[in-house]
Amino acid sequence: MPILGIDPDGPNTRGGYQHDARFGTLQEQAHGALVAHAEIGGVPSARLLDDLAAFQSTLFSSRGVRRLAKAIRSAQVFSDPDPELTSEEERGKSVFNRACATCHGGPLHPSTTTPDVTLPTVVAPVARYLNIRTACPRPPEDTFAPCPQRLARNARTYQITLANGTTQLVTTTDPGRMLLTGQPADVGMMDVTNLRGMGRTAPYFHNNSAETLEEVLDHYEAFFRRVARVNRPPLLPAILSSDGVTIDRGFIAPEERPALLAYLRRL
């Protein structure tokens, strides 16, 4: 339901580029990069933006991602986008489907960007955007790794004016979709990230705060520990539980890590 005339899901509820989904098209993304980042002196032409968008559409992190994109674009029916997997990678895929697919995709389409399972539906609205606590400062509890100084120094304090006229202060390096929606609940909220080709795209997270996949799993261990601490049965969220009572998602057992890492590197 809109709050003060603003859609709480913000713009681009089913599309958008950048981690906060602020741009609806590649042309808009290119325009923003040229004007705000490169700070060009003029206004980019429509033809230039179209050319940039066309070029960006040819870029893929791996041949596997390219094949998958072509299959999706042509509405090709396929049973599984994964390549042939070793026995260890197959075990890792099973771990992925149990622990990670709630946010990063279903069994047939693991690690797609903005998977259908996280899009709002009429039957069961589920948040498309998540705050996995990679911003700085991080919670002091739950054994989160300290923020690198190169990131921590970018923290800023934002003053949010609430509907009743009171104000709220938030200190963070990543305000996320709050800057688009104006909703305090959207602080740090980012779009679910594509995982295809991730074995070749380190560092990880939207702020490059994890240098290895091992560090990614360490961070999620701390994140899920926090989620389990602040949410109690029978109100455990879907990222941790399939029934709200039993923790059967999210956490990775130590003996499962090697197989999961092998699968993630194979994507």
pTM: 0.71
Cβ contacts of 117 within 8 Å, gap of 6 or more: 101, 102, 105, 106, 126
Query: CA angle, 235 as apex, 94 and 133 as ends, to 5°?
Result: 65
Q: Is residue 238 part of a domain?
A: yes
148: containing domain:
87-266
pLDDT of residue 106: 61
**Radius of gyration of the chain from Cα atoms?**
20
d(CA 243, CA 150): 40
pLDDT of residue 22: 73
- How large is the angle between the packed helices 213-230 and 257-266, nearest 10 degrees? 120
First to last CA, the chain: 37
φ, ψ of residue 254 to 5 degrees: the values are -55, -40
Q: Is residue 210 part of a domain?
A: yes
Q: Is residue 80 part of a domain?
A: no
d(CA 267, CA 198): 7
pLDDT of residue 200: 86
Q: What residues pair up with 17 in beta bridges, in sequence order?
A: 23
pLDDT of residue 60: 78
Q: Is residue 119 part of a domain?
A: yes
Tell me whether strands 129-130 and 167-172 are parallel, antiparallel or unpaired. Answer: unpaired
Nearest to 196 by CA among 85, 69, 107, 76: 69
d(CA 199, CA 216): 12
d(CA 214, CA 216): 5
Q: Is residue 16 part of a domain?
A: no
141 token code pair? 């509890």
List per-residue pLDDT tens for the chain, 267 residues long: 343 344 444 555 555 777 777 787 888 888 888 888 788 888 899 999 999 988 888 887 777 777 777 777 777 665 667 778 999 999 999 999 899 988 887 655 444 444 444 433 333 334 568 899 999 999 998 999 999 899 999 999 999 888 889 998 999 999 988 888 888 888 998 887 778 888 888 999 989 999 999 999 999 999 999 999 999 999 999 899 999 999 999 999 999 999 999 999 998
162 token code pair? 């609430």
Nearest to 249 by CA among 104, 91, 115: 104
Q: Is residue 243 part of a domain?
A: yes
Nearest to 252 by CA among 83, 86, 101: 101
Structural domains counted in the chain: 1
Supply the CATH number for residue 204's domain. 1.10.760
pLDDT of residue 146: 92
Q: Is residue 231 part of a domain?
A: yes
Q: Is residue 161 part of a domain?
A: yes
